[in-house]
Amino acid sequence: MYRAIIVDDETLIKKSITAIVQKEFSDFSIVGQAKDGVEALQLCKKHAPHLIITDIRMPKMNGLHFIEKVRETNQHVKFIIISGYDEFEYAQRALRNGVVDFLLKPIKPSQLVTTMKKVRALLIAEQSTSDQRTEWLYEVKSYAEMIAEHIWMLEEDKVDFILEDIHQSWMGQLENEEMRKRLYKDFLTYVDRELKMKAQHLSVLLLEGLEFPSNTQYIKDYIKKTIHDVMNVIKQTRNYGHHQNILTAVAYINEHFMKENISLQEVSGTVGMSPSYFSTEFKGEMGVSFKHYITSMRMQKAKDLLHNPIYKTYEVAHSVGYPDYPHFTKTFKKHAGMTPTQYRKRLGVN
């Protein structure tokens, strides 16, 4: 439902407009009426309207000044101006402020209906763009979480594979070059955020002096080089004697993390280290605790399985080492910000 307010010092005009809108547009609701711009600003703060139908000549604050004040805090609201005067200069200034139309009193119902349809079309188009942007950002965030883990693990082949997959997907689906650049910048911002949680200095390296090539055909190579530079820094700052032991343990975890009873004692034993010493070294190398790493692996696997509608959510829980379904749901929500069922709904998986 789109929210609209009417601003005019003539009660009859407000009643007339309200009657037309209520009769012709079930998807618009008149949430407030004001007699001047000052009163209307308060309504805007309270209701955040999608549409404002306003007179130009009003007491306290004229319509154009009112529009400019609203624009300071809301760039998306649509305006229809009504006036009892054929004022060309006012009309020009209004149109420069993004006003949809300028209607003369007495208002003809057919003219208002036509203009309202134009407003509706604009609002629908903007909502579609906003929804698409949200979907893209969700995909960007998923890619970023995945690749950040491989960066931290120094898995160059997997990093390169994901980068190629991203590039092919975005080049194939998006013709707008500026949109592609924007997604790549969002992608690196999310990767930066993930790495920042592991090591503060790495995020500085990733985004410092970032300047994309003008042609998006070359962005993949640019990002690949930037990420590989970060991985080289990680290599240089790690103790490779212990690092190899931890990598061996991580390989074991990656193979067995879905076991319900995998333990610190079991994993540390595979590399001949005591549990307490292994726990300290593991966190030093991986940037997260042993328990956190196991949980992250399980949650990522759970996300992958939830994409497949053949699995029930309780089956997914069992598959990733959680025989207690409520515990799985609680852990998943803490990790993903939503329950497994909500996650599936967001994906459109029934």
DSSP for 152-180, written as a single string = HTT-HHHHHHHHHHHHHHHHHH---HHHH
With a CB cutoff of 8 Å and minimum separation 6, the contacts of 6 are 14, 17, 18, 30, 32, 33, 34, 52, 53, 54
Domain presence at residue 326: no
* CA separation, residue 8 to residues 19, 279, 314 (Å): 15, 70, 58
**Does residue 215 lie in a domain region?**
yes
CA angle 131, 137, 141 (to 5 degrees): 150
Residues 46 and 142 in one domain: no
Mean pLDDT value of segment 320-326: 91
Residue 55, beta-bridge partner list: 82
Residue pLDDT, tens place only, 170-203 = 776 766 777 777 888 888 888 888 887 776 555 5
Mind listing the pLDDT tens digit for each residue in 86-121?
665 666 666 666 688 888 888 889 999 999 999 998
pLDDT band at 248; cut points 50, 70, 90:
confident
Domain span at residue 89?
Answer: 2-107
Bridge-partner residues for 5, per DSSP? 32, 52
Strands annotated E in the chain:
2-7, 28-34, 51-55, 78-83, 101-104
Residues 42 and 132 in one domain: no
What's residue 187's pLDDT?
Answer: 87
Choosing from 222, 237, 252, the residue where a domain stops is: 237
Q: In terms of domains, do 96 and 21 share one?
A: yes
Say which residues have a Cβ less than 8 Å from residue 63's Cβ, sequence separation at least 6: 7, 37, 54, 55, 56, 57, 81, 83, 94
Helix (H, G, I), strand (E, B) or coil at 34: strand
Cis-peptide, bond into residue 106, ω within 30° of zero: yes
Q: Any idea what the CATH number is for the domain that residue 67 is in?
A: 3.40.50.2300
Assigned domain for 247 exists: no
Question: Residue 315 domain-assigned?
Answer: no
User: Are 132 and 53 members of one domain?
Assistant: no
pLDDT at position 316, please? 92
Instruction: Tell me: pLDDT of 280 over 90.
Output: no
Residues 88 and 144 in one domain: no
Sorting pLDDT into bands at 50, 70 and 90, what band is 205?
low
The C-alpha atoms of residue 23 and residue 12 are separated, in whole angstroms, by: 17
pTM as predicted: 0.45
Q: What is the mean pLDDT of the chain?
A: 83
Q: Tell whether 231 and 150 lie within a shared domain.
A: yes
d(CA 42, CA 36): 11
List, edge to edge, every strand of the sheet that includes 2-7: 28-34, 2-7, 51-55, 78-83, 101-104
Q: Say if 334 falls within a structural domain.
A: no
* CA 274-275-276 angle, 5° bins: 95
Residue 128's pLDDT band, with cuts at 50, 70 and 90, is low
Same domain membership, residue 82 and residue 148? no
> Is residue 328 a part of any domain in this protein?
no
Write out pLDDT tens, residues 149-173: 888 877 888 888 888 888 887 776 7
d(CA 141, CA 137): 6
Nearest 5°: the CA angle 232, 244, 263 is 120
Domain count, the chain: 2
76 and 147 housed in the same domain:
no
Domain co-membership, 134 together with 229? yes
